[in-house]
Amino acid sequence: LHAEVPTLNKNNIRLEYIGRQHELPSDVQKQMEWARQATASNTGMVLTLALNYSARSELVDAFRSLVQAAASNGGLQHLHVDEDSISRHLYTRNLPDPDLVIRTSGEMRLSNFLLWQLAYAEIYVTQTLWPDFRGVQLLEGITEFQKRERRYGGLAQDQEHARYDRAHHDHAKTARH
């Protein structure tokens, strides 16, 4: 971290972390906090490192936080659970959900990473191994992403039209009988 902080500052990049940092050795925690503070005033991009991170642990911690918040606000009868309240208790609460996930090495799984946040992300898989991944592979992933029709859980345009046409066709058929 000491070697990278000057580069982060030069490029106006703020450093953040997600994960159970409190479980890391105290000397590591101190170095992490030093680097975070050293980049805290940067206003450009945010680099978020996932250290001691697991999406399942993140969800458990979010639910614990929800229950604790309700208990502090008059008891569990005040517990309100919906997508927004869960999102507000995740490690990534101050970050936008990712639009694109690039998986290297041909891996076709999420590997317990950002399970909640990746609900509507597009996934691009490359056979390139991570150590060999370069700017050209990043541009390939971004180019592929730009060709995608973002549906955020909805149907593709042509599927919606086909469904509409079928419904009207069936309705017209029923009306004639």
Strand, helix or coil at 123? strand
Cα dihedral: 110, 115, 117, 118 (round 10): 30
Residues 171, 106 share a domain: yes
Give the model confidence (pLDDT) of 48-88 as tens digits.
999 999 999 999 999 999 999 999 988 888 888 999 999 99
Residues 128, 176 share a domain: yes
Residues 101, 177 share a domain: yes
Give CA–CA dist 177/158, Å, rounded.
Answer: 29
High-pLDDT (> 70) share of the chain, %: 88
Q: Residue 169 to residues 53, 92, 162, 173: CA-CA distances in angstroms?
A: 51, 46, 10, 6
Q: What is the total count of domains within the chain? A: 3
Residues 170, 112 share a domain: yes
**Phi, psi at residue 48, to the nearest 5°?**
-110, 120
Residues 85, 23 share a domain: no
Degrees, nearest 5: CA angle 58-7-47: 20
Residues 9, 24 share a domain: yes
- Per-residue confidence band for 1, with pLDDT thresholds at 50, 70 and 90: confident
Residues 105, 153 share a domain: yes
Give the model confidence (pLDDT) of 102-131 as tens digits.
999 999 999 999 999 999 999 999 999 999
Q: Are 123 and 103 within 8 A, CB to CB?
A: yes
Is 10's pLDDT higher than 70? yes
Q: What residues does 15 pair with on adjacent strands?
A: 47
Give CA–CA dist 113/107, Å, rounded.
Answer: 13
Its domain, for residue 86, covers 54-95
- Higher pLDDT: 169 or 143? It is 143
Task: Tell me the average pLDDT across 129-149.
Answer: 95
Identify the domain boundary among 95, 127, 157: 95
Residues 155, 91 share a domain: no
